[in-house]
């Protein structure tokens, strides 16, 4: 079992380890520190109930009336257990609480697991960012979810 809680300073090392294991171009540790300190983003961590370890995290910027999910990442050995979905649901719950009109994100065109996760939670592909990922020149889907009734979250 996992519990979802707001990320705090004490989680940054573990979050950065998940980030590094998950992305070919990981964000530097300083980015997480800065965003937490400046309140630029809302971050959540997934904590294993038994071990107390951070097994995943999610970040979302609040931009006027919209949410922008920056990252959702889960430790490789804990994927396909519903951790990413739980983190995504927490982001959407927060978007609803903040009266956001919608939530957007970018995802690699080739990342079918993530695309499927987002689609299962009501996101739709609304466009493509050509050559979005500079390491591979891979395109990104722009996905958008208009916030509906609470039961749609």
Residues annotated catalytic, as ranges: 106, 118
CA 153: distance to chain centroid? 15
104: left (phi over 0), alpha (psi -120 to 50) or beta: beta
| Helix axis angle, 83-97 to 112-120, nearest 10° | 40
Q: φ, ψ for residue 103 (rounded to 5)?
A: -135, 140
Q: φ, ψ for residue 104 (rounded to 5)?
A: -125, 165
Q: What is the DSSP letter of 48?
A: E
Structure tokens at 148: 């509906």
């Amino acid at each position: 079992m996992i519990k979802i809680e707001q990320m705090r300073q004490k989680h940054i090392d573990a979050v950065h380890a998940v980030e590094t294991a998950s992305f070919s171009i990981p964000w530097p540790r300083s980015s997480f520190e800065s965003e937490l300190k400046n309140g630029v983003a809302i971050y959540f961590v997934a904590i294993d109930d038994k071990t107390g370890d951070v097994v995943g995290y999610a970040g979302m910027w609040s931009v006027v009336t919209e949410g922008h999910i920056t990252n959702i990442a889960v430790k490789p050995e804990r994927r396909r257990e519903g951790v990413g979905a739980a983190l995504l649901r927490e982001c959407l719950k927060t978007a609803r609480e903040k009266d956001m009109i919608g939530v957007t994100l970018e995802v690699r065109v080739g990342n079918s697991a993530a695309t499927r996760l987002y689609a299962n939670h009501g996101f739709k592909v609304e466009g493509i960012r050509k050559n979005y990922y500079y390491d591979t020149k891979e395109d990104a889907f722009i996905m958008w979810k208009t916030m509906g009734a609470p039961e749609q979250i």
